[in-house]
Amino acid sequence: LAERKEFIKRKKHNPDKGFSGKIFTITLKTALKIYDYEAMTLRQYDRLSGNIKPDMKSYEKMRDIVGADQFYPSANTLITGSHYPTDAAMEKLAEDINAQQKKREQYHRRRMFDPDAPIDYINERNR
């Protein structure tokens, strides 16, 4: 209870409200999840890597083909050329990246085109 009161007191005097400018704080645990940039990055990584499910059959097949010493390398093992991704895995990764780009394009709002407005952007995406 004392930690929560102290945290809310600090947030009232903190000018940095995160990305939105709103105070989300309900509990100390959720507030730390929201305001920490490192935690935000970790949540994004978990979300993006959670979308790609591993193919255990191809994993076991590659482990059998390559051998345990190359598959689980030590500090003295050269690992160049020991892993070749399958076409299906590369296609799966490409689909996921395309989905991320599509979602990113839909996220920001489009401004109306004004031909008389001065150019204050670098490229069309930053318009």
Per-residue pLDDT of the chain (127 residues; tens, 9 = 90+): 777 777 777 766 655 555 554 444 455 556 555 567 787 888 888 888 887 888 889 888 888 887 877 778 788 877 777 667 889 889 998 999 999 899 888 776 666 777 888 888 787 777 6
Statement to judge: residues 44 and 74 lie in one domain:
no
Statement to judge: residues 93 and 47 lie in one domain:
no
Q: CA angle 53-75-49, nearest 5°?
A: 15
Task: Report in angstroms the alpha-carbon separations of 73 from 16, 77, 98.
Answer: 45, 5, 32
Statement to judge: residues 62 and 91 lie in one domain:
yes
Residue type, 3: E
- Residue 117, domain member (yes or no): no
* Residue 13 tokens, joined: 């005097």
Stated pTM of the model: 0.47
Q: What is the pLDDT of residue 95?
A: 92
Our count of domains for the chain comes to: 2
Statement to judge: residues 47 and 69 lie in one domain:
no
- Residue 127, domain member (yes or no): no
- Residue 20, domain member (yes or no): yes
Statement to judge: residues 39 and 63 lie in one domain:
no
Q: What is the pLDDT of residue 120?
A: 81
- Residue 83, domain member (yes or no): yes
Q: How many CB atoms lie within 10 A of CB 35?
A: 19
- Residue 25, domain member (yes or no): yes
Statement to judge: residues 79 and 66 lie in one domain:
yes
Contact 63, 71 (CB under 8 A): yes
* Residue 24 tokens, joined: 């989300």
Q: Tell me the residue range of the domain where 38 lies.
A: 1-51
Contact 70, 83 (CB under 8 A): no
